[in-house]
Amino acid sequence: MRQLLQAYCAAYKRIILQAEHGGGYSGSRILEVRPIRADGLAELPAILKIGPINVIEREWQAYKSQVQFRLPNAVPVAEAPRFFPELKWGVLRYQLAGYGTYTLIGLSDYWRRPEVTVAQAVAVLEKLLAGLHPYWQAHRPVSQFTYQASYDHLLPVNLQLEATPAAPTPSLPLLTPGVPLATFGIGDWVQLSDFVVQKSNPATQTVTLCEPASDFQASKRFLRLRIADEAEHDWQYNGTIGPLPGQIRATRESFWQAKLTGLIDQPLDVARITLELASGDLLLRNPLLVAEEWLQHRQTVFVGPIHGDLNLENILVEPNTGNFNLIDYADARRDHTLHDLLRLETEIITKLLPHEIRQQALMPAETLAGIYSGLARLAPVANGVTHTDWGCPKSWHLLVLIRRQASVYLAEPEQMTEYYNGLCLYLLGATKFKNLRQAPSAPLPEWLAFWGAALTDHLLQGYTLPSIPWRQAPEAAACEPPIATEAEIFLPHHYVAAWAPPPAGSHIRFGRNLDFAGRNRELRQLARLLQAPGSVVVVQGMGGVGKSQLASEFAHRYGHFFPGGVFWLSFADPAGVANEVAACGPSSLLPQHPGFAELPLPEQAAWVRQGWDRPVPRLLVFDSCEDVVLFERWQPLHPASRIIVTCRPGEWPALPGVTLLPLAELPRADSITMLRCQHPDASDEVLNHIAEEVGDLPLALNLAGHFLKRHQNWISPEEYLRRLRDPARKQDMLLGGRGHSPTNHDQNIARIMALSLERLHLNIPNDYLARELLQMLAFLAPGELVPQPLVGHLWNALPAERQSTTLQRVLGRLLATGLLQPDEEDALRLHRLIYDQLRLATSWLDLARQRVMSVLEKAISEALALQRVRTMRHWHPHFRAVADEGLRERSPLALRLVKQICLYYRETGDYHNEQTLLVK
């Protein structure tokens, strides 16, 4: 690949590789690049498709004959392909859809977005179908059309063979087009001849062959050949192979046997005639047994231009407008007009329907049977909406639209046999793809494809599908809520779920916080980490960082995925946890006790605990749970429950299923967004400085934003920033913005920071030394990184008690309490608001100031003497802060320090800062 890119880049100064997208099954690779010309000018972003020469050549010819100037909204190929025969690869360059100026996503991702309504999903499909209708309509009828000529490639290849350089015996059975394949079995040796090359894949050393067919009345069966040395042969697209010995390694039947074993709860092989769906409610023919019957079917159909690979990833959508673009034309050709619509239906069944079934906790068999029963009975009503959506509104309405569009292209109007026969082959063929087994909802996509083929075959035979109850679970006793299993939960984590009400009966004390901003990455992390049964995520962070807000936002966005509901418990008062648990008792999601209100408190809590141990996925939030022992006491025994714990930083033991999720301050862009919600007219520069002053702490940002909103008629953002920078007025500027807390937590910044400091107990030696070290750090530059060597120098200035412990232990204590924060650059950071709180104390200010000045004066002096000032480049921000302190104090020590800092600036060539300091 490196050689290929170097050869392709020869005409350019360089090519910037911006991204790699998923390749196809042909072994191709898709690169997003930005070419830079020899004169340094950048060209528009482009897509390079790199693949075997025969694949690239086929796609280029298909583009010219079937796509260019014909297929609407097709992303154009920018230039003729370039081939590199010595490497056996070629490159095809496409324009980047939208030229990179706006975001495009695959139609599958767009449809699965929770904020995309059914109406929006249908609108995009309507645009797509309307755009493609003139393209598909350029068809003509073909009589005696055989499905084998057009559909055999959808199924696993008929035979997989291993090519050998020499035959084991002089004469081998001849395998040529038209020879019955059933006469051969695994292990047989054959002499291959007269098959046509469809594609070769150097990466997997395989060649796909087929029977030559000039029209749609002849057979066109596919084989796959594995070759030991691809260089010995010249596999030209559409070229005919000469006599070649090979051994059969697998058949279509053996592939299915290996691939589908275990997919259903019944023995599955080609000898089994019927299968039972929904515990015997429906008896269906085995698709593996009747696939050949579908292939041999003949009838009159329409043949015309098709895209040929209209999977949802090849349809790109601009989310804001719903406009679409089409890509990937390797299979564009003249063929059965229904191909593209059949592919779209298969994509919905295997990609969108599993998503909706998981979301709504539906029973797959009943839902699939209901949908196909409903589609078979389609009848338009006055408003164009059918009588039910079967619990999967997007999938249902999209399938209805596809079926109605397909009816336009039926050779015999209203005779669905033509469509059903092709759909059986598409659905069964989908089970061969690895991506279905690797999907988050696996094995449901494969399962739906297999049973979809069986149900469609039932309709193909002229039978009707009975109405099977399709809703969630069979009705339970009146006092018992429905029971699901923990395996039925699916939490989307590739995007943030939209707000939706949690199940009725949930116990959440707080409503949605409409001012919540950012944290998308953390919300997706929670969704991913809470996917597994019994998972526990401990969200740790300093006071005011938004731990409870994150948990609340998650509950309001993802709570509806938990059929057992959401239960919020405050652990702030350990003695009151039993009351918190008992308060969940009246929930309709838990078993009801007729005399629950009269039970003693311990028995009420025990009853709720017993309900939580039922196998129903639920979300529990243990808010402000600082005690591991308390957590273990109230943790449900059954793994169906998922738990979010919020707490300040501390040492949690390695418990099974527990993951720590440290929560830091907001990124600056999110901080500005949060402030702008309260004051839309403020400039980015001012909001950036306000966010910096409060250290991007969500609670402080919330208070600052509400202050700006409340006093916007009297105090401008610029004036607010000036007051915020005044240490004497900073607390007032934050307190003045207090309003209702969405989680009923304390909003007094000073009190929260003081509580953080109170976690250090001054009668414990390590905590006492930690407090002393913090006091010195408060005289460095606020919010700046503190290099570890500087921390070491400050440590050495502490009293003799430090000899009884180590710096590592003391730093460990400060990190565990969240008073110090680690940084990736082997440095530490003291949050600005902790800094402010430390500076409010007066009893120790002079001592800490003297220690810091003495440490820096000595360290700089030694570095100057040893000519090692370059090692102190990361100390620079702190020199300025301490120098300003020294100039205000004007003690002999302070003036000596300022002199040393001036010498440091001179030695490092920083004459501007030296001059500034000398002037002061």
Query: How confident is the model over 173-196, as pLDDT tens digits?
Result: 999 998 988 889 999 999 999 999
Cβ count near 37 (within 10 Å): 12
Q: Do 452 and 308 share a domain, yes or no?
A: yes
Secondary structure (DSSP) of 310-360? --GGGEEE-TTT--EEE---TT-EEEETTHHHHHHHHHIIIIIHHHHHHHH
Model pLDDT for residues 439-479, shown as the tens digit of each residue: 888 889 999 999 999 999 999 988 887 655 444 333 323 33
Here the tokens at position 730 are 């900073």
Residue 653 lies in a domain: yes
Q: Which residue has the higher pLDDT, 485 or 335?
A: 335
For residue 248, give its domain range: 156-252
Q: Do 528 and 601 share a domain, yes or no?
A: yes
The pLDDT assigned to 411 comes to 93
* Cβ neighbours of residue 919 closer than 8 Å, sequence gap 6 or more: none
Are 601 and 653 within 8 A, CB to CB? Answer: no
* Cβ neighbours of residue 170 closer than 8 Å, sequence gap 6 or more: none
- The C-alpha atoms of residue 18 and residue 754 are separated, in whole angstroms, by 47
What's the DSSP call for residue 224?
E
**Of 153, 2, 156, residue with least CA distance to 84:** 2
To the question of pTM greater than 0.85 for the whole model, the response is no
> Which region among 267-271, 526-530, 703-707 has the lowest average model confidence (pLDDT)?
267-271
pLDDT at 739 over 70: no
Model pLDDT for residues 663-678, shown as the tens digit of each residue: 888 888 888 888 887 7
Here the tokens at position 271 are 């000898």
What pLDDT band is residue 380 in, cutting at 50, 70 and 90? very low
Are 814 and 770 within 8 A, CB to CB? Answer: yes
- The C-alpha atoms of residue 609 and residue 585 are separated, in whole angstroms, by 9
What pLDDT band is residue 387 in, cutting at 50, 70 and 90? very low
- The C-alpha atoms of residue 761 and residue 774 are separated, in whole angstroms, by 13
Q: At what angle do helices 788-796 and 807-817 cross, to 10 degrees?
A: 120
Residue 121 lies in a domain: no
H or E element that contains 692 = helix 684-693
Q: Which residue has the higher pLDDT, 269 or 504?
A: 504
Are 746 and 752 within 8 A, CB to CB? Answer: yes
Q: Which residue has the higher pLDDT, 340 or 102?
A: 340
pLDDT at 693 over 90: no
Residue 109 lies in a domain: no
Mean pLDDT on 820-848? 70
Q: Do 393 and 506 share a domain, yes or no?
A: no
Q: Do 246 and 300 share a domain, yes or no?
A: no
Q: Which residue has the higher pLDDT, 34 or 251?
A: 251
The pLDDT assigned to 429 comes to 95
Of 726, 750, 774, the one marking the end of a domain is 750
Residue 626 lies in a domain: yes
Secondary structure (DSSP) of 885-901? HHHHH--HHHHHHHHHH
Strand partners, 622: 569, 645
Q: Do 321 and 424 share a domain, yes or no?
A: yes
Q: Do 702 and 797 share a domain, yes or no?
A: no
Distances (CA, A) of 712 to 678, 732, 737: 10, 16, 11
Q: At what angle do helices 876-889 and 892-907 cross, to 10 degrees?
A: 150
What pLDDT band is residue 844 in, cutting at 50, 70 and 90? low
What pLDDT band is residue 751 in, cutting at 50, 70 and 90? low
H or E element that contains 520 = helix 520-529
Residue 133 lies in a domain: no
Q: Do 712 and 773 share a domain, yes or no?
A: no
What's the DSSP call for residue 872?
G
Model pLDDT for residues 209-225, shown as the tens digit of each residue: 999 877 787 778 888 88
Model pLDDT for residues 851-905, shown as the tens digit of each residue: 888 888 888 888 888 888 777 877 878 888 888 877 777 788 888 888 888 888 8
Q: Do 780 and 743 share a domain, yes or no?
A: no
Mean pLDDT on 590-606? 87
Here the tokens at position 268 are 């599955």
Looking up tokens 């003690």 gives 891
Are 763 and 802 within 8 A, CB to CB? Answer: no
| Total number of domains constituting the chain | 6
What pLDDT band is residue 22 in, cutting at 50, 70 and 90? low
Q: Do 504 and 644 share a domain, yes or no?
A: yes
> Which region among 96-100, 282-286, 791-795 has the lowest average model confidence (pLDDT)?
96-100
Q: Do 77 and 213 share a domain, yes or no?
A: no
- The C-alpha atoms of residue 250 and residue 253 are separated, in whole angstroms, by 8
Q: Do 437 and 503 share a domain, yes or no?
A: no
Residue 550 lies in a domain: yes
Of 662, 682, 702, the one marking the end of a domain is 662
- The C-alpha atoms of residue 190 and residue 171 are separated, in whole angstroms, by 9
Of 750, 778, 809, the one marking the end of a domain is 750
> Which region among 62-76, 283-297, 721-735 has the lowest average model confidence (pLDDT)?
721-735
**CA-based radius of gyration for the chain:** 35
Residue 375 lies in a domain: yes
Distances (CA, A) of 901 to 505, 786, 791, 882: 65, 17, 18, 10
Are 658 and 629 within 8 A, CB to CB? Answer: no
Q: Do 739 and 784 share a domain, yes or no?
A: no
711: left (phi over 0), alpha (psi -120 to 50) or beta: alpha
Residue 468 lies in a domain: no
- The C-alpha atoms of residue 674 and residue 693 are separated, in whole angstroms, by 15
Residues above pLDDT 70, as percent of the chain: 86
The average confidence (pLDDT) of the chain is: 82
* Encoded amino acid at 624, one letter: S
pLDDT at 737 over 50: no
Give the pairing of strands 222-226 and 206-210: antiparallel
